[in-house]
Structure 1
Amino acid sequence: MKHRHVYSTQEMAHARKAIAALHMRGIGNDAISLVARSDVEMDRIPDTLKEADTDSVPAAVRGMELGGATGLLAGLAAVAFAPFGVTLAGAVAIGAMGALVGGWSSALMGAALPDPVRQQFDDEIQAGRVLVLADIEDEQLPALREAMAEAGAADLDYVSPVGAK
């Protein structure tokens, strides 16, 4: 399973050094993202390395899970209450509608929130530092640590399963 690790570099030149050290150890651009203040991102970070700056996708997933569960429970309750005349297929349909509405509304709310890395390390970002995010398998951890030490990047003690952010 992949985990996200976050490191802080002083400026873009240090972040480039960290990226080069990661590449030398077989960690490609698909596993690397950069996060910085908007003025730094606009001018100096290539689009392929920019990290998405909202929480909309994780929020949508959470909303679909909660909306679907709530809709299914409501549908099953309607099945149990005979005067409504809802069948088991109707209960599943109500659950699906709950998942859609929950996912849609949560995605809209999540789009207004910064992603968890930006929330947690806002002070680092506002201070002008460039965060290097690496989504790696557990067996790549020694190579990651070695590369980051070589580049002088500071470990921000953040580990999260990829996809959960």
Structure 2
Amino acid sequence: MSRRIYWLLPDVASARRTVNDLLVARVPVQHIHCFGREGINLSGLHPANVFQTTDVIYAAELGLLIGGVIGVVAGVLVAMYYPLGFASLQWGVVAILGVLGALFGAWSSSLIGISVPSHRLKRFEAAIERGEILLMVDVSSLQVKEIENLLQASHPEARLEGEDPDTPVFP
């Protein structure tokens, strides 16, 4: 199980030192994500990507669910009111429209979700606008305390902002 730890750092130099300490502690660079306001130079750091900074995953999941339900309902209505002659073919339409509805719902919702800032990062907006750097570290549940203690001891300028227990596994 993976957890995401959030830290706020005052500037890019502090973020670079912190990331270097995390790398020495054997946290893979793919699990370290830095996010700052637009226009800030994050060179040398692993920047957060669209999966960490927008609601694209949440929107796609919601669209998949809603689109699938609407597709199944439409399939049931078609099967009940427009008989095709074969009973197996009629109910196959339910499955086909359910899958097509789910795919269309996920696609269309993700197009919207990619333009919406992440609801998980909403609480950091003011700090990021002030020029602070948000550091997101994905570690196993067993490493959380170790990493928190390491950063608190070596970076007093950093502020621990909590952890997110349900970090998506893939991004």
TM-score range, shorter chain: 0.7 to 0.9
Structure 2: gaps of 5 or more residues: 85-89
Indicate the percent of aligned positions where both proteins have the same amino acid. 22
d(CA) in 2 for partners of 1:109 and 1:46? 31
1:101-138 deviation line (CA, Å, top 9, x unaligned): 21122111112201234323101101110011011110
Q: Distance in 2 between matches of 1:138 and 1:77?
A: 47
> Between Structure 1 and Structure 2, how many residues are aligned?
161
Question: What stretches of structure 1 move > 6 A for 4+ residues in a row?
Answer: none
Corresponding letter in the other structure for 1:131: L
| SS of equivalent residue, structure 2 residue 39 | helix
- CA distance in 1 between counterparts of 2:166 and 2:71 reads 28
Aligned match of 1:157:
162
* Partners of 1:72 and 1:92 within 8 A in 2: yes
Consecutive unaligned residues in structure 1, runs of 5 or more: none
Q: Tell me the equivalent position of 2:87.
A: none
TM-score for the superposition, normalised by structure 1? 0.85
Aligned to 2:108: 105
2:69 and 2:147 map into 1 onto residues whose CA distance is 39
User: TM-score scaled by structure 2?
Assistant: 0.83
Which has the larger Rg?
2
CA displacement, residues 6-28 of structure 1 (integer Å, 9 cap, x when unaligned): 11011111111211221222111
